[in-house]
Structure 1
């Protein structure tokens, strides 16, 4: 099967260049100048559109098994495809959790059966993603674990995290951490200023930064690759920057919502703005932008976290944490940051595709090159449209970005040369 994606604009040395992409049996076989006479079984006209490497998201929640009223593997991966993502890494807060070889094997089989994009599966750090009893790291690696995480819960005991890092380091695997000292944040819902305004308990910045500081020292001693999820505080950015200069093997991510919103946007009791870590100050948001630009922050990951409308219609004090992100990330970031000249398109694609693939050694992802899998997305950079809830593929509609006018909506997404989303 030969497919030609013609007349599209590919990113070459930070410039959009007209090129055609020939795909044979799911692999990019040639990148051609437009107008060359090429025989193909199928032709896709991407005239004037941006043909991007498929995006890579190292942080999504798909809720199946256990919580399918919120999301399923199919709806979650359809949402990813709608957002231009072709590879995603699924967190382990499921029921049962992928904490044994049997559970992980069953989860990977379920992902393979139901997903429309490529899903890499996290295993947990501790049994059932709680307490201090470590999983069998070597067995889970051999069973196909992508990395190890207790996302949603910080590891509270230093000894547990240290031993986990030692085990992961032996296997050259990453420990991917939700960083939160629950003794400082228990019962909290928002950052300090917003919490006082709305009348709920706060989640102070130190609950994040203190645990990162601890973990950085543990990672240095263990020789582990330590990856920090959803950095939100300027203080966390500062200590990760210092740790990188010191040679500690630390990487980190930031979410679109922490780049796009602050606690000043929470003007009423609206649970669409409740996420963990919480939205913080404008000074924190600017520090996150600076951290991306200077290389302290390595990538952007959505933390796509769908919930039911009934759950998110509760007051902030009672609603679950999290917002959806797969379907709005590229268009919102392109509109607010690339169109305004703060980021280049090349930088944005780097943080959303190339860098996560490189950091986590996801072979064949994050690039369009001869011999690589034909995982790509086609974006319309020129025409404005509105984000509409009715167009979401995710079961979760919990996004504060509905109604936003954006550029960069997805026209088409391909995985291994097969169309998995088309507008």
Structure 2
């Protein structure tokens, strides 16, 4: 049995909401206690932060079909370097993960080459086409942790409601990307003066609210478990608040880019800032940060979406959406801490504890008996990000050349060091 004691650590515990100084002992891959007499290998944290490993939901991997953009090996290495100990991956692959056989393939590939834990979501409808529901029961048996068509909105309310009813009967979690698809189609930025000056096709943030309103009505009708994966607009928050107050089994997440960037960062058509949904107004960004602070928005994720150079080096409206973020998630989130918007335990509640609980995964806590999935990091060390130093195959980050603070010093999965 491998035993390790971490001494002189700032222990960040999102479950108790505390930050304390002390030691943590792990044995055989499990946390066994705090402030015990040191035994086994000793890691001197030198006053740096020790927290549960990040549980990142919505990670895009290029296997199968787009391995040139990202593989399980490169994504796993990037995750470990970013303090992410669990990736929950998306089914928007080629082919779509909509059968037990495809799910078994990606599960096997991840187990073979990734240094971090990987759990896969499956599509909600076959081919993510919104017409025919997948075999939810068989995919659950094969290991799917949730069901989603990603950014393909199921426009047929009857199909979506039937899928929600069936998912509820099996206790399955449904993940949705709320948008009104007709309004959103072809949009590249958020509507407003900036979009008009740039001459770019735009969409109002109300499209997100309209999509969420529809979904909440269907969730109320069916009683399904539901998670909105990528909220970005202040207009959506009252809808979410009402749904939670009504007792619906609903949670929501936000992309780290929508917490730290706004519409003006697009600048002169910089395609690394083209995301889905598009970057919003500063008022929306501030509202989303406040929603995380109060707990209204439950989860912060990277929405890691690798794109190759050819798909980004195009006119803004034609370029692919998305950004890599496994390695930049933690330092970007430190912007919120250094600005005084979020305390570290609150931040880790959204990065680790809440996503672990929502997906029924172990981890997200420093409690005795929890898996020894840990990240040691210095929240203050400054650096300038060089995208070519990222471990992801694709380098499409909006933080290229940005001054950031916060660096991962070590990552452990099941008590075994996988980075640092």
Which TM bucket (shorter chain)?
A: over 0.9
- After TM superposition, the structure 1 stretch with the greater mean CA deviation from structure 2, 251-260 or 293-302, is 293-302
Provide the secondary structure at the position in 2 that maps to 1:79: helix
* Structure-1 residue corresponding to 2:32: 29
Distance 2:328 2:397 in 1: 9
Provide the secondary structure at the position in 2 that maps to 1:399: coil
Deviation at 1:123, TM superposition (A): 0.6
Deviation at 1:396, TM superposition (A): 1.9
* Structure-2 residue corresponding to 1:147: 146
Distance 2:219 2:377 in 1: 39
Provide the secondary structure at the position in 1 that maps to 2:372: coil
1:157-208 Cα offsets, whole Å, 9 max, x none, are: 1011101110110111111001222211211111112432322211332322
* Structure-2 residue corresponding to 1:5: 6
User: In structure 2, which of residues 377, 387, 390 is the aligned counterpart of residue 389 of structure 1?
Assistant: 387
Deviation at 1:421, TM superposition (A): 1.3
Distance 1:103 1:254 in 2: 28
1:200-249 Cα offsets, whole Å, 9 max, x none, are: 21133232221111110100111101110110111111211111112222
Distance 1:381 1:265 in 2: 24
Distance 2:134 2:191 in 1: 36
* Structure-1 residue corresponding to 2:178: 179
Deviation at 1:381, TM superposition (A): 2.1
Would you say the 8 A contact 1:270–1:315 is kept in 2?
no
Would you say the 8 A contact 1:98–1:123 is kept in 2?
yes
Distance 1:243 1:4 in 2: 44
Provide the secondary structure at the position in 2 that maps to 1:413: strand
* Structure-1 residue corresponding to 2:320: 320
Distance 1:148 1:253 in 2: 15
1:6-43 Cα offsets, whole Å, 9 max, x none, are: 2222135655433222222222223225xx3x341x33
Where do 1:261-410 residues align within 5 Å?
Answer: 261-334=261-334, 336-363=335-362, 365-410=363-408
Provide the secondary structure at the position in 2 that maps to 1:8: strand
Q: Give the number of equivalent residue pairs.
A: 416
Distance 2:18 2:151 in 1: 39
Would you say the 8 A contact 2:266–2:274 is kept in 1?
no
Deviation at 1:251, TM superposition (A): 0.6
TM-score by length of 2: 0.95
Residue 249 of structure 2 corresponds to residue 249 of structure 1 = yes
User: In structure 1, which of residues 408, 411, 415 is the aligned counterpart of residue 409 of structure 2?
Assistant: 411
Provide the secondary structure at the position in 2 that maps to 1:109: helix
Provide the secondary structure at the position in 2 that maps to 1:381: strand
Distance 1:357 1:101 in 2: 23
Structure 1: which 5+ residue stretches go unaligned?
none
1:307-347 Cα offsets, whole Å, 9 max, x none, are: 1122212221111000111111121221x221221111111
Structure 1 segments of 4+ aligned residues over 6 angstroms from their partners: none
Where do 1:15-164 residues align within 5 Å?
Answer: 15-32=18-35, 36=37, 38-40=38-40, 42-164=41-163
